[in-house]
Chains A and B, each alone.
Chain A
């Protein structure tokens, strides 16, 4: 069975501070890992993905994510948060070798960046 855990419903940070949104997964094999962001009244936007190689993945809008195989984690990070980063963030995995690329989502983490 595939599962993705985002342990925090809500993360609050001050603008300019670093932010971390946590994600752990339980998937058979070596999955593909994704982060998506959803702004109010919008669909999901792709931020970044981990396929293989370097454990630090850089994505859109200054976000990056660190893959840790031993801890089965894929935490999203940004060195300096912006108020405009406030949104709902979803971690997702798909099984390697699955042609349809079916996504299994975490429950989401609401990020609030206050001025």
Chain B
């Protein structure tokens, strides 16, 4: 299974941008990079995904390194409601999702 490495936890101040890193040095050419997050006492929710190019949606932006060995999830203006565990996942054609332990993001008011 393709593996990802994320910091265990991060802190950020409210209303500031947050950059959540993910390393995936064993990524293959057809692996998509997905991000999910899990708010307290809720199920995970999909955030964003990409293959090679940077991606934006209403929740976040995904910046993918040119060699694809790392990526960064960007929350442009963090709010207290963004405090969650963020999972970086590689999706292959025939594989089920495997959730690692993710990064616990703390937002300071």
A and B pair up:
no
Binding site for B on A (CB under 8 A): none
Binding site for A on B (CB under 8 A): none
